[in-house]
Amino acid sequence: MKVTVVGGGIAGLAASWTLEGALRGAEVVLVEQGDGVGGVLLTEHEHGFLVEAAADSFLSRKPRGVGICEELGIQDELVGRRPENARSFVRLGRELHPLPEGLTGLVPTDLDALEESTLLSDEGKRRLAEEADLPPEPPGDDESLASFVRRRLGREAWERLVEPLTTGIYGGDGEQLSLRATFPQLRALEEEHGSVLRGLQAQPAAPSGAYPPFVSLRGGMHELADSVAGDLQSTTIDTGSRAVTLRAQDGGYALELESGAAVPADGVVLATPAYATAELVAALDGELAEALAEIPYAGSAVVTLAYRREEVEHPLDGYGYVVPRSEGGHVLACTWTSSKWEGRAPEDRVLLRVFAGRFDLSDDDLVRLAREEVSLLGIRAEPVLTWTHRWPRGLPQYTLGHPERLERIDAALERHPGLALAGAAYRGVGIPDCIASGEEAARAVARALVGAAR
């Protein structure tokens, strides 16, 4: 059997790795248009600094992140955030307000801690606390995340608390995000308990896991991609090859490359962004391509700045801060990387990452924007080093109608046995979600091929 995987990000790597185990003796070819594998898991090492171009960690409670690390034997490389700096902030104006303790997901459940917080006004705190007494909406159509949070917790809680935290996950507009596709558990709490707050407070305390809530790898996130790629035994990795079109051929498929070559396959996993996947399958299935093309993407840029420690007035006693959209401007967040993780900068240096909603600015303008942002930390000096990374279409947006789009995509895939999709565009944007999607896509292809061979 021959199986082709398109896309060398963590989803495509996980698919290839799973295919090797599910289809012993199969010929697996991983096609990646870039010069290397890993996708957005890109780590740079320079002058003692460890710089992440995109994600710097993943949730340990989602099993396939730590699971694949354990199976690869790299679990000892997993590190948690520095506990001595365990707090984060929200920027309002040029002031930093600590996030209230007792957050469960996006929602504050410790109302005593919320009362002490300076993040919400007295009226905002009262409105949030009143959520427990609000009648639930009857079951009905999907609504936006923003609409739901304003309805249950109030406008201030949305604008100053939930929205900036949501942007840190999805990078998009909460007015457009589907509640059912992003945080369906919030609606379930309202329906089951009549209140989000009462529902969260009724839940048993989560057991402490073997790992901290957020984990990274000692050598950076690219270490995960390198480890999966290095463990592949029978997969041929073809980098620098751009896939153009997927067609049906002889009961299987043929993947046409930009070079003019055609790669025949009995099964295919497309682990590419939805817009790229739409182009690949356009000649195979127009309805599938149309549904995929409807998934929008948000873009961003990450600017990393290195400074001498003595040139930073702020103690950087936290992990960083997020910025509500209601503040205006282009900055979404600032992470104090050297305070968040051990080993990211030399002892006498600090490393900061500024996330911007603009990716179309020049490097100089992006650095200027980032330097203006971190000036509120008492930094006036020139950075000793800077790095800029752009992601023009970095994060898929689970907008209203996303669950219905997934139903159309799944229905179309039933017409094409041995074809499966993987990646962040469908059922989760986190690294463990992408790993799980790659593994499930591989298993789906394996089931189809084994069934057809019987």
CB 383 within 8 A of CB 370: no
Helix (H) or strand (E) holding 2: strand 2-6
What kind of architecture, by CATH, is found in domain 297-396? Alpha-Beta Complex (3.90)
pLDDT at res. 106: 86
List, in sequence order, the alpha helices (H) in 194-320. Answer: 196-202, 222-231, 274-281, 286-293
In our burial notation (b when 16+ CB lie closer than 10 A, e otherwise), range 394-420 reads bbbbbbbbbeebbebbeebbeebbbbb
Phi, psi of 436, deg, nearest 5: -60, -40
CATH 1.10.3110.10 positions along the chain are 98-202
Give which of 308, 264, 240 is closest to 418, Cα–Cα.
Answer: 264
Strand partners for 391: 300
pLDDT at res. 205: 75
Strand partners for 249: 252
Q: What is the DSSP letter of 302?
A: E
CA torsion, ordered 54, 420, 409, 393, to nearest 10 deg: 20
Strand partners for 33: none
pLDDT at res. 105: 77
Q: What is the DSSP letter of 54?
A: S
Helix, strand, coil tally for the chain in percent (to 5): 40, 25, 35
d(CA 280, CA 272): 9
Q: What is the CA radius of gyration of the chain?
A: 23
Tokens of 44: 């740079």
pLDDT at res. 209: 78
Q: What angle do CA 37, 39, 45 make, to 5 degrees?
A: 80
Tokens of 268: 């295919």
CATH 1.10.3110.10 at 98-202, yes or no:
yes
Give which of 9, 21, 7, 10 is closest to 445, Cα–Cα.
Answer: 21
CATH 3.90.660.20 positions along the chain are 297-396
pTM of the predicted model, to two decimals? 0.95
Give which of 1, 7, 4 is closest to 272, Cα–Cα.
Answer: 7
CATH 3.50.50.60 positions along the chain are 2-40+224-296+397-453
Helix (H) or strand (E) holding 265: strand 262-265
Tokens of 72: 């690869």
Which amino acid, 270?
L
Strand partners for 32: 239
Q: What length is written for the chain?
A: 454
**CATH superfamily, region 2-40+224-296+397-453:** FAD/NAD(P)-binding domain (3.50.50.60)
pLDDT at res. 454: 64
For residue 333, the tally of other CB atoms under 10 A from its CB is: 23
Q: What angle do CA 401, 407, 411 make, to 5 degrees?
A: 145
Q: Please, what are the averages of pLDDT over each run of 10 residues along the chain (454 residues)?
A: 97 98 94 96 97 97 96 97 96 95 84 91 96 92 95 96 92 94 95 94 80 96 98 96 96 95 96 98 98 97 98 97 94 98 97 96 97 97 98 96 97 97 97 98 96 72
Token pair 């499930």: residue: 440
